[in-house]
Amino acid sequence: MTARLASALLPLALAAGLLAGCATDPEPVEPTPAFATEEEAFAAAEATYRAYVDALNRVDLSDPATFEDVYAWTTGEANANERESLSGMHANGWTVSGETVVVWVEGTASDDSTTVTVACTSVGSVAVVDATGDSVVDSERADHYALQLEMTYSRESPTGLFIASSNAIQEDRCG
């Protein structure tokens, strides 16, 4: 570049720099809520949990490919726990029969990233036996149990939510 061209472009570069310094900061963008209402979030949470239980009911412990639909509804801690549990049952040669039934699901809290629900589930018809045919189900297991489910928002989920954690809780209405 010649000295003449450089000296001609210098004022333009300085003017552009000065103008850029005068530009206003962009307005902060409010995040789009995952759901328009809390009721929508709770409906999505119920649909998510029901889809997860449906996937769980289709599991064949002798065929790990059937685990994938369960994993598809979970993320984080819940996903890691499912992988460990199902892989362990498969490795031990266990067999499951019967169906888990969702009795009810109730939303308890929701914000832009997380929805918390309580679900009551019936497992009275579910049997799990080891390779010798002996039951591995605790004889004290209740036919119904309640879970507190934390679900996180994701555009990748068909319902908008993935199950992130699941913890057994005491719930008198579930029994």
CB-based contacts of 55: which residues, under 8 Å, 6+ apart?
69, 70, 72, 73
What backbone torsions phi and psi does residue 160 show, to the nearest 5 degrees? 95, -5
- The pLDDT score that the predictor gives to residue 106 is 97
What tens digit of pLDDT does each residue of 60-117 get? 999 999 999 999 999 999 999 999 999 999 999 999 999 999 999 999 999 989 999 9
Which domains does the chain show, CATH number per domain?
35-169 (3.10.450.240)
Phi, psi of 142 (to 5 degrees): -75, 155
Which tokens in the block code for residue 28?
Answer: 């902060």
Alpha carbon distance 53, 72 (integer Å): 12
